[in-house]
Amino acid sequence: MIYNLGSINIDHFYRVAHLPAPGETLAASAYHTGLGGKGANQSTAAAKAGARVAHVGAVGPDGRWAIDRLAGWGVDTTHIVQLDTPSGHAIINVDQAAENTIILYPGANRALGWAQVEQALNKAAPADTLILQNETAHQAEAAALAHAKGLRVIYSAAPFDADAVRAVLKHVTTLVLNAVEAEQLCAALGQTLDAIDVPELLVTRGADGAEWRARTGKRAFAPALKVTPVDTTGAGDTFAGYFAAGRDKGLSPQDALDWAAAAAALKVTRHGTADAIPTAAEVAAFRAQCR
């Protein structure tokens, strides 16, 4: 079972010719909304991969549809509460090269009480997994509780916050970073990647693939599959969710990496975030085509 203390956002997408410069007013050529947030994306990816997932989070009065959407993909939404605080939302600009910039309003994600998180984790067992990101409250407390109960703790250090990482790090099983976050963390800690003391480290590098390294010295690498991207938003979350599902299913780090890399590659060929994350069947068909 995978528990996810994660954000739930309403994503507002704007298609632009290029990413705006400071002081520039830029007309968008297209606009749409969808379900997002690093937490919701990762829960969606893990559920579409076939894992049992319970999401722990909060939405505002405007967020009932988000709960229903997650439930429709098989996510257990029992531990999602509806608060008076508006739902989190993101303003996402996507350019012609599929790169993006994102402005995030945390909203209800940061208003969730600890009691709801603690209650959700009460039934968790050592064979279970907790996944976390930096878009909610109570990451450090949840990681400590999960670690004490013997769960695997997979932590995506994004959006990057050095203090948040320091608070969580000693409870983490697998630390997930992208290339930029890896550089930021090394600079903040004054250490190389190999010196960061966690049992497992996973670094995603976009078109340069993804690497997994363990404290024991073991290594694994998955090259990126060559595709024509149209929207990279949520690719890292797709990777993290599929990797968590793979490990939950008992896959080796190498097999989980390869599976996650294929899912992320397929995702970037589609516009959107949670809605665009592929199912396990779609990933299997895609991998067959790539052979």
Query: β-strand 152-156 against 9-15: which pairing, if any?
Result: unpaired
pLDDT of residue 290: 87
d(CA 4, CA 183): 26
**Under a CB-based contact definition with an 8 Å cutoff, are residues 264 and 238 in contact?**
yes
Say which CATH number the domain at 192 has: 3.40.1190.20
Q: Kindly list the catalytic residues.
A: 237
Torsional class of 217: left (φ above 0), alpha (ψ -120 to 50), beta (otherwise): left
- 93-145 pLDDT per residue, tens: 989 888 888 898 999 999 999 999 999 999 899 999 999 999 999 999 999 99
d(CA 38, CA 234): 7
d(CA 179, CA 190): 16
**Among 159, 168, 40, which residue's Cα sits nearest to residue 108?**
40
- Supply the range of the domain harboring residue 20: 2-290
Query: β-strand 100-105 against 88-94: which pairing, if any?
Result: antiparallel
d(CA 74, CA 52): 8
**Residue 118 amino acid letter:** E
d(CA 42, CA 245): 10
Residue 291 has pLDDT above 80, yes or no: no
Neighbours of 172 (CB within 10 A): 25
**Under a CB-based contact definition with an 8 Å cutoff, are residues 59 and 36 in contact?**
no
Neighbours of 8 (CB within 10 A): 34
d(CA 277, CA 280): 10
Measured over the CA atoms of residue 265, residue 269, residue 273 and residue 277, the dihedral's sign is negative
* pLDDT, average across residues 201-228: 95
Residue 202 has pLDDT above 90, yes or no: yes
Strand ranges (E), the chain:
2-5, 9-15, 30-36, 53-59, 76-82, 88-94, 100-105, 129-132, 152-156, 174-178, 200-204, 210-214, 219-222
Name which of 55-64, 89-98, 171-180 the model is least confident about: 89-98
Cis peptide, bond prior to residue 159, ω within 30 of zero: yes
- 232-262 pLDDT per residue, tens: 889 999 999 999 999 999 999 999 999 999 9
Residues 6+ apart with CB under 8 A from 68: none
Q: What share of the chain has pLDDT > 70, as a percent?
A: 100
Q: Structural domain tally of the chain?
A: 1
HSE of 67 in the Cβ direction (CA atoms, 13 Å)? 17
